[in-house]
Structure 1
Amino acid sequence: MSSSARVVEATHLVTLAALTGLVGLDPTARLRSAPDYAGWLAGQQRVDRVMSRVAPPLFLSAAATAVGAALVAGAGHRPALAVSRIVAATCVAVAVRVTLTVNEPANARLRAWRPDAVPPDDWRAVRARWDEGHRQRRVLVAAGAAAVTLGLLVDRRFRRG
């Protein structure tokens, strides 16, 4: 494997691991776990301020490096790796779609809300929709990571003979 192929592979694994840690393991869940409107909204807005800066480049990098790693694996006649990277890229792309169609519209509304104001009548429904979208993203990112792990295991098995 060439040094540029190693860089693509390493970058793919690092960005997918970072995305899995940030979205799949969801270390910010406790910030969004308050049962009351004010506590939940304050935590949700805090998470949104950080994630709106961190998540877009991380999702884009994870998808792009997965495609790059798939091309490198395909060129190296390593089909298990190529397929696993395509699956990972697809999972990340679908997670981005969920973000853009479910989570981001909710976030746009939440940015205008105030924790010290009277809660909107539908705040629980907005919260439930956001949480469901986030669960879908977590499953998709975990599936992508699992596919890559399986691809690595199968590839190693075939390369040993």
Structure 2
Amino acid sequence: AIRENKALLKKKYDTAKALAATVNEARNSIKELTAKMEKLRTDKAVASVITTNLSTTTESGLVSDDEMAIVAAIDAHKRAYKVGFNQLNDLKKEIQHVQKMLEMGRLKLQKDFDGWYQAQGRGHLVTETLVNKQDVADEIPKTGDAAVDKDVTGFYEALDILKRRNSRKL
């Protein structure tokens, strides 16, 4: 599941990068067209101040057609920008969801590993204890009294466990 989520996340990142490039391109086009529009309007204003004859009025009508074309292009780029921006926002939510799923998977994997590792450690401790009990039982001298022998064996087992715990802490 983690590998699948990583692959999905990479795919979504690539999609987001491509979409961001499209959105930035639309924004830059809007800026360029707006600058063109301002230049046309200032040229038109300068031309109307200099001459007021009939031919200039016709030319200014042509400039108005150019302005209308630029306005239409700006509107088209604005629509593309808004659509791309909204898609980016939706994609951002999806990416955050996949990231959260990936983090949850990592935490679950770590928790499972920690549980397994602790179980492995306890398994070794139990095995060690069983092996050491036999060694201790063989080394303890017998007194002949069963109750005393049982107490002495318990003492040596407890002593052995304490020694092993202390050696692990160091």
Decide: shared fold, TM above 0.5: no
Interval containing the TM-score (normalised by the shorter chain): 0.3 to 0.5
**Which structure has the larger Rg over C-alpha atoms?**
2
Q: What TM-score, normalized to structure 1?
A: 0.42
